Chain A
Amino acid sequence: MELDLVTYAVPFLLVGAKTTLLISVFGVALGLPFGIALAVIRTSKNRMVSRSADIYCAVFRGTPMLVQIFVIYYGLGQLSAIRSNPVIWWIVGDSLHAAILAVVLNTGAYTAEIFRTALLSLPRGLIEASQACGLSVWATFRHVKFPLAVRQALPAYSSEVAIIVKESSLASTITVLEITGHAKRLMSETFAIMDIFIITSAFYLMMNVVSLTSLKLIERKLSFAK
């Protein structure tokens, strides 16, 4: 591998990495609370409400993210009601915003699945005990259910974060130039396919290592056994 190629490719990929990071950070920051909310809704007693959240998760987990991103970016723009609403159009009309929306909606469904299993695995006795102590529904969730469920869900959620970083590459299909988009352009420009692939995968593997180790640290910090 020539050094020239590396010095030529890396600056482009660094610019792309900024976009990938931006999409991933929004994916975690908005997708995590959204997923937790969905999980709570899915475990609620109201049949109608929990059913509709179930259907949402099944649809987003059962279709490829490429289709979701195309429906959002190309499909929704067709409706004049959406084009005339400035707030929605700000989200859907811009390719970067549409990509972030798609990532958030998609990861929300998977996160909900992770947290739902965590919430269902909580020991009944603890919840009965908190009810016997007279804690309100919100206090039970805030002080009993949530702290335990988070610790239960964290290992599975850390692999979901790695998936978010990978899925953000689909933004390149709607003209957002993130790492994969730049890599494709560099591949067809320099013809050094293998070299560009190796440099690009180093970027992704580095991001994975950073996100997985930081989540591992959080996991250790939260664990009861020091």
Chain B
Amino acid sequence: MSFDLWVLLVERGWGFALFRGATVTLAVGLLGMLAGVIMAVPLALLRWRRLPIFSQAVDGYSILVRGVPGLLVIYLLFFGSIEWVQRLATAFGYQNSADSAYPFVIGVVAIAAISCAYSIEVLRGALDAVPVGLLEAAKSLALPTHVTFFRVTLPIALRLALGGLNNVWQMTIKDTSLVSVVGMQELMRSAAIAAGITRSPLLFYCAAAGMFFALTAISQTLFSHTERFFNRGFSRG
């Protein structure tokens, strides 16, 4: 049994394939999360300031994306864009590179769209939770609006948002597995290919589960350290 394992994972190179899949998963997760948070910051600000029409639009987006399964969002983005992207790529003569890069790009866009919706809620909640007294103190010191925002509101809000953003990240890294259904070669897809060819699904899906678990566990540990760093000088609880 252990001999079989060695042959499968090392000599036939499936272990390496899984590992490469895990790096793609991590890349898609990080890029998606980064893009999602960058998009979420201005949207959360619009929502927080309660700008008439924009605020409702942001709310609608966030309720829609958080209310439907991630799989459905991925189908929409993938099937909805494949036709004209292909037409565009053929017109400019990039057919081959478009075919290979396409699932990755759409994967990142889909993951970003989902993580953005959740990040908006986290950031908005954090902005709302900044104590009013602090803002009044800043006002009584006659600080200009942008100084108040960048030196008082934002540092406190980001500290408050940290825990929520960690939850969003944990969810995002797990959601990347969904992109495998449209053919992106990340961890889950590599495991499925290996399982299909070697006919040992139990081994490879469990290996994929193990790798996902390692990813979430490591990032959780890193997060705990970050949180301790940002919360220095504040009492716990």
Chain B binds chain A: yes
User: A59's closest neighbor in chain B, by CB?
Assistant: B213
Q: Say yes or no: A166 contacts B80, CB within 8 Å.
A: no
Say which residue of A71, A167, A173, A188 sits within 8 Å of B209 (CB atoms).
Answer: A71
B154 at the interface (CB under 8 A from A): no
Interface residues of A in 143-195 (CB under 8 A from B): 162, 166-167, 169-170, 172-173, 180, 183-184, 187-188, 193-194
Contact of A197 among B76, B175, B195 (CB under 8 A): B76
* Tier of interface size on chain A: 35 or more
Identify which of B68, B176, B181, B216 contacts A200 (C-beta below 8 A): B68
Contact A75 B205 (CB under 8 A): yes
Please encode chain A, from 65 to 80, with 1 for each CB lying within 8 Å of some chain B CB and 0 for all others. Answer: 1111011001111110
Given contacts A79-B202, A204-B72, contact A66 B67 (CB under 8 A): no
- Are B205 and A74 interface neighbours, CB within 8 A? yes
> Closest residue of chain B to A79, judged by CB?
B202
Chain A residue contacts of B202, Cβ below 8 A = 71, 74-76, 78-79
Chain A interface, >50% SS class:
helix
Q: Give the chain A neighbours of B69 by CB distance below 8 A.
A: 166-167, 169-170, 180, 204
* Bound CA–CA A73/B110 (angstroms): 26
B217 touches A75 (CB 8 A): no
> Which chain A residues numbered 20 to 79 have a C-beta less than 8 Å away from chain B?
58-59, 62-68, 70-71, 74-79
Report Cα–Cα, A74/B198, bound state, in Å. Answer: 13
Q: Is A201 engaged at the interface, CB distance under 8 Å to the other chain?
A: yes
- Residues of B at under 8 Å CB distance from A? 63-64, 67-72, 75-76, 79-80, 174-178, 180-181, 188, 191-192, 195, 200-202, 205-206, 208-209, 212-213, 216-217
Could you give 30 example pairs across A and B, Cβ below 8 Å?
A58-B213, A58-B217, A66-B178, A67-B205, A67-B212, A68-B209, A70-B192, A70-B201, A70-B205, A71-B202, A75-B201, A76-B202, A166-B67, A166-B68, A166-B70, A167-B69, A169-B72, A173-B71, A180-B72, A180-B75, A183-B75, A184-B75, A187-B79, A193-B79, A194-B76, A197-B72, A197-B75, A200-B68, A201-B67, A208-B67
